[in-house]
Amino acid sequence: MKQYDIVVIGGGPAGLAAAISAKKAGVSDLLILERDATLGGILNQCIHNGFGLHTFKEELTGPEYAARFIEQVKEMEVPYKLGAMVLSISPEKVITYMSKTEGLVQISAKAIVLAMGCRERPRGALNIPGFRPAGIYSAGTAQRLMNIEGYSVGKEVVILGSGDIGLIMARRMTLEGANVKVVAELMPYSGGLKRNIVQCLNDFNIPLKLSHTVVGIDGKDRITGVTIAEVDANRQPIPGTEIHYDCDTLLLSCGLIPENELTREIGVEMNRVTSGPNVDDKLQTGAPGVFACGNVLHVHDLVDHVSSEAALAGENAAAYVLAENQTEKTHKVTLKAENGVRYTVPQTIDVENMRDSVTVRFRVADIYHNRAISVYYDGQKITSRKKRVLAPGEMEQVVLKKSSFAEYPDLKEIVICTEEV
Amino acid sequence: MTDIRYDVAVIGGGVIGSAIARELSRYELSVCVIEKEEDVCSGTSKANSAIVHAGYDAKPGSKKAERNVKGNAMMGDLARDLEFEFKRNGSLVLCFADEDMPKLGELYQRGLKNGVEVSILSGDEVRKMEPNITKEVVAALWAPTGGIVCPFGLTIALAENAADNGVEFIFNTAVTDIKKDAEGYVLVTNNGEIKTKAVVNAAGVYADTIHNMVSEKKLHITPRKGDYCLLDKEAGGHVSATVFQLPGKYGKGILVTPTVHGNLLLGPTAVDVEDKEYTATTAAEIADVVKKSAVSVKDIPYRLTITSFSGLRAHEDGDDFVIGEVADAPMFFDAAGIESPGLSSAPAIGVEVAELVAGKFDAKKKENFIAKRKGFVKLAEKSFEERAAKIKENPLYGVIVCRCMDVSEGEIVDAIHRTLGARSLDGIKRRVHQGMGRCQAGFCTSKTMEILSRETGIPMEKICKNSTGSEMLSRKM
């Protein structure tokens, strides 16, 4: 069985950035396994702009952003395999994959970087009642059919869910001549970025109905209409508020789910809020030498953050292989998300062996105005930063410096929370 | 259509029509199956509990009881010969209150009368067998011969084997009227007339409509709708037996069962509807499924629901199967009112109706009847070595299209090119389970459409989810 120092599972934005940084950190014996026929992952179908503002200080399209990383991978001669689908990963880090050219192959790795991305929540998982006709697509599927295959999926469109892909598709379909009638969102706030609501809905006069959901789907063969209704505080439809729309297409943009089937096989501890594995400040999962980054770890809204997170994972995987920074002494501190903070990534920090600083990313549970994000070390407030608006659709972060822990030799718990100010 | 006159025309390509056609194909008869949809297994047969009932439930002496017990006994051999998925996982009927114990006793007695192996277990014995059974359960009936089957696999296997033995399948063809003529019957369809000497009516929820075209003794079938929730394979091991509820204070009861594909299935509700096409789920019924399933089994991970669906049972007013030659329509045979335990009874009904019809023709058995059929290659179930060998043989087996169910391009291509090959996305799904997993075809829809278009020559814009009218795309940009 061939052994690699590092195997990166997935050649999307996370996998590419992880592999590049692992190579830069001095590991050459590495391999990217990508199931699709090209590198770049979902970016290839994201032909709109708005990518790379943080990373490159310019506005790129998805394929352009991906190309920057793919070019680096090629220049640096990072090995990769396309059409290589990983079927399983054992706790001993034996990876089974298959491809058209190689058949079924087993390899082993000293370190693994999980970068499999996420999938869209399907209609079935939403329990939307009604018929099951053609014409109901998750937004990303419709995006692929339009942007990669070159086919329009419909003319009269209703969108359920205001996730970013749904918002982007509202604009995309409008530009392609379709009539996007409404975007209905179950929650009292949008799950997407503010800039997407402005640029994709407001600019095209597409109404966004918050606290609304689909309560009926008509059409036995192809969808002919949907009925939406307002929901109460418990997200239950309010009788009498139904509105019917004739349509031939229903797009769903109701959340993304990290693809962690392989991760579960390794047997690491998972997080119920993120649906990703729990990781430490090195982005290492419960299995030593197995790292995770990007949307498989937690769903991001900006690819720039995916890239920076993945670079860190790649660098740490390299350090693990090269056995750097390994000391006997560890001091693990647990991070807790409280009062409106839904989760944190990472979930633990080894303050003894951490880098100079660690970026803790998280999301809030609701729309909050004029609240502070505060950090407590064992009950003592360390920092507090006031924000005018906090929204679940926008990922937040705090940076914790190693120096800040110097005065807390017995620290057990870090709390990140929102607070009224 | 043509001047050919078939010996037998079977109306309906569901599990019953396919079982009858397969058994008829043993004889020297020309047989066709007329199906209004684009594929077999497109009505009740595709949306049901997928249970092979043990046979304790139906009234002793009824057609339902007798065919169920016979069909159940036949299922093992049939699954081996025709290579579809079937497993005897056993059935439990839960009793939740001491005052309902006499009813459980009745069911036990009925089981014995029907010739079914049954026993009564205490609540603790049940929980020892199935740790997730709720503490409210005081006792249960245990029937080890109960089983689960892939209803698509069963129906398609029967139909393919029938076709391999010379039965002609005519799709996208709905019978709109039936005329008698000197030599038998003329079926009027949307695609012209089809002449036949004999007719078998296996039209599911439409069996009354078809029957009433030729007979004065009218049938009346009520579509009885049932909604289901299907949970991800992650939840498939939550119970190992099929768990029923004793009809009692919780109404008719909701079952909780693993499927042969490893998912967990909950349902069905029972609501009578007027429209024979009304397969829409409702929020109220799905809520009912959730509520009642929790009475039997604790900690069901409902968040792992991947889809919900609805099916129609063909309930005849007489509350029993209607099988046999119609008194005022010679050579017209009914297989009507086939509701639960219809799937379980299908093998027995197939033999019964075929023998009846062949007897009227005094038909001889073929010498070259092909009794076996090769099942679909399921690479995900193969060992590492077997799988590696298959990929060497055909590299397309090494290209995964459906990640969730681990289905390769080679398997999809096979599903398109074999006997009665798939011509729609649902047809592929029912054959090789592409798109049946947790992402519900989110990732593989476009790739599967491309493969179907490439292999059949159907343009992308004409690719359908199922029947004509369910086109997936509006236009090429």
The confidence score (pLDDT) of residue A409 equals 94
Residues in chain A with CB shorter than 8 Å from the CB of B282 are 129
Residue B97 has pLDDT above 90, yes or no: yes
Residues in chain B with CB shorter than 8 Å from the CB of A163 are none
| Whether B190 contacts chain A with CB within 8 A | no
Residues in chain B with CB shorter than 8 Å from the CB of A127 are 229, 283, 286, 305, 308
Q: Which domain holds residue A275?
A: 1-119+256-326
Residues in chain A with CB shorter than 8 Å from the CB of B438 are 119, 122
Q: Are residues B255 and B140 in the same domain?
A: yes
Contact A104 B466 (CB under 8 A): no
| Whether B472 contacts chain A with CB within 8 A | yes
Domain membership of residue B120 (yes or no) is yes
Residue B1 has pLDDT above 60, yes or no: no
Q: Are residues A152 and A243 in the same domain?
A: yes
Q: Provide the sign of the torsion angle of the four alpha carbons B431, B434, B439, B441, taken in this order.
A: negative
Closest CA of chain B from A416, distance in Å = 27
Residue B248 has pLDDT above 70, yes or no: no
A119, A132, A249: residue with CB nearest B442: A119
Contact A152 B477 (CB under 8 A): yes
Contact B440 A124 (CB under 8 A): yes
Q: Which of A210, A233, A254 is the endpoint of a domain?
A: A254
Q: Are residues A315 and A338 in the same domain?
A: no
Residues 302-321 of B with CB under 8 A from A: 305-309
The answer to whether A167 and A182 are in contact (CB under 8 A) is no
The confidence score (pLDDT) of residue B2 equals 57
The two three-digit tokens of residue A415, written as one number: 């709390």
Q: How far apart are CA A36 and CA B205, in angstroms?
A: 44
Q: What share of chain A is helix, strand, coil (3-state, %, to 5)?
A: 25, 35, 40
Residue B341 carries which DSSP code? S
Q: How far apart are CA A270 and CA A296, in angstroms?
A: 11
Q: How far apart are CA A39 and CA A81, in angstroms?
A: 9
pLDDT digits (tens, 9 = 90+) for B337-352: 999 999 999 999 999 9
Q: Are residues B215 and B330 in the same domain?
A: yes
Q: Which of B278, B294, B316 is the endpoint of a domain?
A: B316
pLDDT digits (tens, 9 = 90+) for B201-244: 999 999 999 999 999 999 999 999 999 999 999 999 999 999 99
| Whether B384 contacts chain A with CB within 8 A | yes
Q: How far apart are CA B71 and CA B23, in angstroms?
A: 13
**Percent of chain B with pLDDT strictly greater than 70:** 99
Q: Are residues A263 and A225 in the same domain?
A: no
Q: Are residues B58 and B160 in the same domain?
A: yes
Q: How far apart are CA A204 and CA A255, in angstroms?
A: 23
Residues 213-252 of B with CB under 8 A from A: 229-230
Q: How far apart are CA B5 and CA B197, in angstroms?
A: 7
Q: Which of A302, A326, A350 is the endpoint of a domain?
A: A326
Residue B251 has pLDDT above 90, yes or no: no
Q: Which of B375, B395, B423 is the endpoint of a domain?
A: B375
Q: Are residues B160 and B84 in the same domain?
A: yes
Q: How far apart are CA A29 and CA B464, in angstroms?
A: 46
Q: How many domains does chain B have?
A: 3
The answer to whether B111 and B246 are in contact (CB under 8 A) is no
Q: Which of B299, B316, B333 is the endpoint of a domain?
A: B316
Q: Are residues B257 and B305 in the same domain?
A: yes
Closest CA of chain A from B97, distance in Å = 32
Residues in chain B with CB shorter than 8 Å from the CB of A242 are none
Q: Are residues B308 and B233 in the same domain?
A: yes
| Whether B392 contacts chain A with CB within 8 A | yes
State the CATH number of the domain containing residue A315: 3.50.50.60
pLDDT digits (tens, 9 = 90+) for B149-174: 999 999 999 999 999 999 999 999 99
Mutate to test the interface with B, among A106, A141, A155 (most CBs of B within 10 A): A141
Q: How far apart are CA A396 and CA A281, in angstroms?
A: 17
pLDDT digits (tens, 9 = 90+) for B378-418: 999 999 999 999 999 999 999 999 999 999 999 999 999 99
A125, A129, A137: residue with CB nearest B282: A129
pLDDT digits (tens, 9 = 90+) for A380-413: 999 999 999 999 999 999 999 999 999 999 999 9
Q: How far apart are CA A303 and CA B118, in angstroms?
A: 60
Q: Are residues B82 and B184 in the same domain?
A: yes
The answer to whether B188 and B214 are in contact (CB under 8 A) is no
CB pairs under 8 A between A and B: 140
Q: How far apart are CA A392 and CA A192, in angstroms?
A: 8
**Percent of chain B with pLDDT strictly greater than 90:** 95
Q: Are residues A278 and A358 in the same domain?
A: no
pLDDT digits (tens, 9 = 90+) for B39-80: 999 999 999 999 999 999 999 999 999 999 999 999 999 999
The answer to whether A190 and A166 are in contact (CB under 8 A) is no
Domain membership of residue B193 (yes or no) is yes
Q: Are residues A174 and A131 in the same domain?
A: yes
Contact A87 B406 (CB under 8 A): yes
The confidence score (pLDDT) of residue A117 equals 98
Residues in chain A with CB shorter than 8 Å from the CB of B437 are none
Say how many C-beta atoms besides its own lie within 10 A of residue A243's C-beta. Answer: 15
Mean residue pLDDT across chain B: 96
Residues of B taking part in catalysis: 53
The confidence score (pLDDT) of residue A421 equals 87
The confidence score (pLDDT) of residue B247 equals 81
Domain membership of residue B111 (yes or no) is yes
A106, A129, A149: residue with CB nearest B283: A129
pLDDT digits (tens, 9 = 90+) for A23-49: 999 999 999 999 999 999 999 999 999
Domain membership of residue B206 (yes or no) is yes
Q: Which of A254, A288, A310 is the endpoint of a domain?
A: A254
State the CATH number of the domain containing residue A347: 2.60.40
Q: How many domains does chain A have?
A: 3
| Whether B286 contacts chain A with CB within 8 A | yes
The confidence score (pLDDT) of residue A155 equals 97
In angstroms, what is the C-alpha Rg of chain B?
Answer: 22
Q: Are residues A14 and A104 in the same domain?
A: yes
Q: Are residues B67 and B175 in the same domain?
A: yes
- Sequence-distant (6+) residues with CB within 8 A of B1 are B189, B191, B192, B193, B194
State the CATH number of the domain containing residue B227: 3.30.9.10
pLDDT digits (tens, 9 = 90+) for B12-48: 999 999 999 999 999 999 999 999 999 999 999 999 9
A35, A140, A154: residue with CB nearest B442: A140
The two three-digit tokens of residue A315, written as one number: 């660098």
3-state secondary structure of A33: strand
The confidence score (pLDDT) of residue A323 equals 87
B309, B399, B439: residue with CB nearest A132: B309
Closest CA of chain B from A76, distance in Å = 28
Q: How far apart are CA B439 and CA B430, in angstroms?
A: 16
Q: Are residues B138 and B151 in the same domain?
A: no
Residue B180 has pLDDT above 80, yes or no: yes
Q: Distance from CA of residue A348 to its chain's centroid?
A: 20
Contact B465 A83 (CB under 8 A): no
Q: Are residues B50 and B77 in the same domain?
A: yes
Domain membership of residue B467 (yes or no) is no
Domain membership of residue B214 (yes or no) is yes
Q: Which domain holds residue B308?
A: 91-144+222-316
Q: Are residues A158 and A277 in the same domain?
A: no
Bond prior to B395 in cis (omega within 30° of 0):
no
pLDDT digits (tens, 9 = 90+) for B254-271: 999 999 999 999 999 999
| Whether B465 contacts chain A with CB within 8 A | yes
Mutate to test the interface with B, among A81, A100, A180 (most CBs of B within 10 A): A100
Total count of residues recorded for chain B: 477
The confidence score (pLDDT) of residue B48 equals 96
Q: Are residues B216 and B180 in the same domain?
A: yes
Question: Which chain B residue's Cα is nearest to A141?
Answer: B442
Contact B279 A155 (CB under 8 A): no
Contact A152 B474 (CB under 8 A): yes
Domain membership of residue B288 (yes or no) is yes
Q: Are residues A115 and A262 in the same domain?
A: yes
Q: Are residues A93 and A239 in the same domain?
A: no
Low-confidence stretches of chain A (pLDDT < 50) are none
Closest CA of chain A from B444, distance in Å = 9
Say how many C-beta atoms besides its own lie within 10 A of residue B324's C-beta. Answer: 14
Question: Which amino acid, A179?
Answer: N
Q: Are residues A1 and A58 in the same domain?
A: yes
Closest CA of chain A from B313, distance in Å = 17
pLDDT digits (tens, 9 = 90+) for B308-325: 999 999 999 999 999 999
Q: Are residues A284 and A309 in the same domain?
A: yes
Q: Are residues A42 and A109 in the same domain?
A: yes
The answer to whether B67 and B345 are in contact (CB under 8 A) is yes
From the list A350, A338, A328, the residue with the least C-alpha distance to A405 is A350
Q: b/e for A251-263, b at 16 or more Cβ within 10 A? A: bbbbbbbbbbbbb
State the CATH number of the domain containing residue B63: 3.50.50.60
Domain membership of residue B457 (yes or no) is yes
Question: Which chain B residue's Cα is nearest to A127?
Answer: B308
Q: Are residues B228 and B82 in the same domain?
A: no
Q: How far apart are CA B302 and CA A148, in angstroms?
A: 35
Residues 48-67 of B with CB under 8 A from A: none
